[in-house]
Structure 1
Amino acid sequence: MSVKIKDIAREANVSIATVSLVLNNKPGASSSTREKIMKIAREMNYGLYRLSITATVRKGTIRFLKIAKHGQTVNRDHDVFISDYIEGLDQDAKLTGYNLEINTFKTTDMSVIIRSIEEHPVNGVIILGTELSFEDIKAFEHLTTPIVFIDTYYDYLNFNFVDMNNIDSVYQIVTNFVQNGHKEIGFIRTPIDVNNFRQREIGYRQALKRFEISYSEKHVFSVDSTFDGAYQDMRTILKKGVKLPSALFSSNDIIAYGCIKAIKEAGYRVPDDVSIIGFDDLPLSAVMDPPLTTMKVSKKRIGQLSMRLMNNMLEVDPGMPPVKITVCGRLILRKSVRDLNAKK
């Protein structure tokens, strides 16, 4: 079995991004960290695997831009899924013969990012668009550099996108609740300006309609997108004496963790009193009490597809029209949903 950069990252106790920088001989890591990573890579025979790929001449560089506008979702809580994107990108960059360069921006000013692309040209740019609005993305229109946006999706924009299929994924979640006998299905939303969150709310409403379940504002709860914020907001909601429905879909796992803490403190039992399903399948979900049923969409797959799309733009059909890809998810069944059909 070939060694992957995530294996080296785990052994070195650093991020996948840091390992990628070191193995691609890019700046951004201290000399001690660089030596440590290279030592571990040699011990794990990563060098043999790498040499077999890098023996060919590199075609150029693809730059991955990790952009945090407000940092509500692109933050340390979500490093795991961002690392999965990077792993997929890095894997296919090697296969297609490109170097992967990783840059991080913390800004609301897209002109800063656009200027960096213009002043430091590369073959193509793949952008983490999680926190980018329609207007943010539109600002990139005049660039001639090939661009792919991941973790977001917009119609009416002349760009390439690779994102998760939120509508289909949420339909799977609501279907599971219905199959388990739930008729009151609530939604834990967040007001944060993220397109994937908006799509999940749309998916929730559409799924209820398909199952002829009435939408009720009293079953929709708005909380902050961070663990602590979601906990405090749900705590405040419950202190008002609000009655929870039998089932709740949470916009993502981080929000679910915070809300579950507040719900349990209020005396509810999960799943006996309230069933909960999250979204993202973060590692902590498997060891929650109870283990959280959640939607898994392969971030690595999204990374791979975006790199392959970029390769097609550069080498196969440079003039091709924009391609917009959505990747479906799979519901990971654990212990946070009660089957109301089962005999008591």
Structure 2
Amino acid sequence: MKVNIRKISEETGFSMSTVSNALNRKKGVNKETAEKILKVAEELGYRVDEEITKIRFVIFRRNGLIIDDSTFHPSVIEGVEHQAKLMGYETVFCYVDIHDPDYQEQLYDILSDMQSAVVLLGTEMLEEDYEPYAGAKNRIILLDGRCDKYAFDSVLVNDMDAAAGAVEYLVEKGHTKIGYLRGEFRIQAFRSREAGYRQVMNQHGLPAKPEYTATVGTKIETAYQKMKEYLDHAKELPTAFFADTDVIAIGSMQAMKEYGYDIPGDISVIGFDNVAYGMVSDPPLSTVHVYKQELGARAVRELLSADRTDSKAKVKIQVCADFIERGSVKEITG
């Protein structure tokens, strides 16, 4: 028997007009009433087949240490907006800050809007942040984020393999004392990059000495300041560093140069992300190139794919990166 609004009205005790407004996410129905109606409707097997009319790009902010000054994310945003436009959809941008007093209300509005499909930028998200998004009523895809507890369709950079390739390049250049410029805010992407660094070190039997790891800030100025503190106490330096990001690499390089180290003459450095100003740093920074616009575009294509409409299986797509060789690495001979 087909479930209709009258049946839901009888089960909940609310009027048919209130039920209709709640099912169509119209204003004027308080949150508690709407949640009760939607819950009963779901239990009865009622489905509202609403057409998706827009892409809602949700930018999650935990502390801004990664996304606030990033040149990476504007390119991702451009990819999302361009692809959505090609497919005939408008893009609505939403910034949500986990520390905002009305954060939960914002989530309810975003995740219950059946006329929007959500691209969730999870760069700053930690494992415990994903729970409310797992219960989204609308279609959602995770971009540049990783979650082990809950399953999401997702598009992300193949961070571990890309980092491993960069460290392998240092080994091929003759480096055996390779350090790690470690971002102090440990997002999931950084953990994967560290795993790639350690994998190559282990494969070649090279020591990843604790004293070769410098934990620094994730902005240029904080990376610079923290690197100076590291150099104040360092008794031995590696011949090369792999950095979690270009921003970290460039800030740290400035500190090293102020302390009299030549790059790459004394210390080689590799970054990650291929931000534009890495090309004009002194020296130009060798780095891992991430296809930023393609990340955003791929997320939109996957989100709106007809194959995803009725599929319960979640798909994780990893976009590969390329290594860009510039002038910040010295080859060690002999």
TM-score normalised to the size of structure 2? 0.80
In structure 2, what is the equivalent of residue 92 of structure 1? 83
**What is the alpha-carbon distance in structure 2 between the residues aligned to residue 137 and residue 319 of structure 1?**
22
Determine the structure 1 residue equivalent to 2:318.
Answer: 326
Equivalent residues of 2:113, 2:138 under 8 A apart: no
How far residue 119 of structure 1 moved from its aligned partner, in angstroms, is 6.0
For residues 20-73 of structure 1, the C-alpha deviation after alignment (integer angstroms, 9 at most, x for no partner) is xxxxxxxxxxxxxxxxxxxxxxxxxxxxxxxxxxxxxx9610100112110000
Counterpart AA for 2:321: G
Question: Is the CA contact 2:127–2:148 (under 8 Å) kept in the aligned structure 1?
Answer: no
Amino acid at match of 1:81: F
Q: Does the 8 Å contact 2:201/2:208 carry over to 1?
A: yes
Name 1:337's counterpart in structure 2: 329
State the match for 1:251 in structure 2.
Answer: 244
Aligned match of 1:115 in 108, 115, 136?
Answer: 108
Which residue of 150, 153, 160 maps to 2:146? 153
Partner of 2:97: 106
Q: 1:154 to 1:277 in 2, by over 3 A?
A: same
Pairing 1:69–2:62 present: yes
Instruction: Kindly state the Cα deviation for residue 241 of structure 1 after the two structures are TM-superposed.
Output: 4.1
Tell me if the contact between 2:291 and 2:321 (Cα under 8 Å) persists in the aligned partners: yes
- 2:161 maps to 168
Whole-angstrom distance in 2 between the partners of 1:216 and 1:237: 14
CA distance in 2, matches of 1:191, 1:255: 10
Identical counterparts, % of pairs: 32
Tell me which amino acid in the other structure corresponds to 1:243. E
Q: Which structure 2 residues correspond to residues 4-19 of structure 1 after superposition, within 5 A?
A: none
Residue equivalent to 2:41:
none
SS of aligned partner of 1:170: helix
Residue number among 74, 79, 83 corresponding to 1:83 in the alignment: 74
Structure 2 match to 1:179:
172
Report the Cα distance in structure 2 between the residues aligned to 1:120 and 1:257, rounded to whole angstroms: 42
| Residue aligning to 1:22 | none
Query: Does structure 1 retain, via aligned residues, the 8 Å contact 2:269–2:285?
Result: yes
Hey, what does 1:196 align to over in structure 2? 189
C-alpha contact 1:234 1:262 (8 A) present in aligned 2: yes
Q: Which residue in 2 is equivalent to 1:141?
A: 134
Query: Does the 8 A contact of 1:185 with 1:247 survive in 2?
Result: yes
Q: Quick check: which has more Rg, 1 or 2?
A: 2
Partners of 1:73 and 1:131 within 8 A in 2: yes
Q: 1:59·1:97 contact (CA, 8 Å) conserved in 2?
A: no
Residue type matched to 1:331 in 2? F
Q: Paired residue for 2:299?
A: 306
The Cα shift of 1:203 comes to 1.4
1:267 maps to 260
Q: Once superposed, what is the RMSD of the aligned Cα atoms? A: 1.7
Q: Supply the AA of the counterpart residue of 1:167.
A: M
CA distance 1:118–1:161, change in 2 (3 Å): closer
Q: Aligned with 2:155: secondary structure? A: strand
Q: Which runs of 5+ in 1 are unaligned?
A: 1-57
Aligned length: 281
| Distance change (3 Å), C-alpha of 1:291 and 1:203 | same
Counterpart Cα distance in 2 of 1:336 and 1:140: 41
Q: TM-score, normalised by structure 1?
A: 0.78
In structure 1, the partner of 2:31 is: none
Runs of at least 4 residues off by over 4 Å: 118-121
Describe the shift of the 1:309–1:331 C-alpha distance in structure 2 as closer, same or farther (beyond 3 A): same
- Contact 2:157 2:319 survives alignment (8 Å): yes
Secondary structure of the 1:163 match is strand
Maintained 8 Å contact 1:63/1:122: no
Does structure 2 conserve the Cα–Cα contact (< 8 Å) formed by 1:124 and 1:145? yes
Aligned counterparts, 1:220-231, within 5 A: 220-231=213-224
Deviation at 1:134, TM superposition (A): 1.4
CA apart distance, 1:138: 2.1
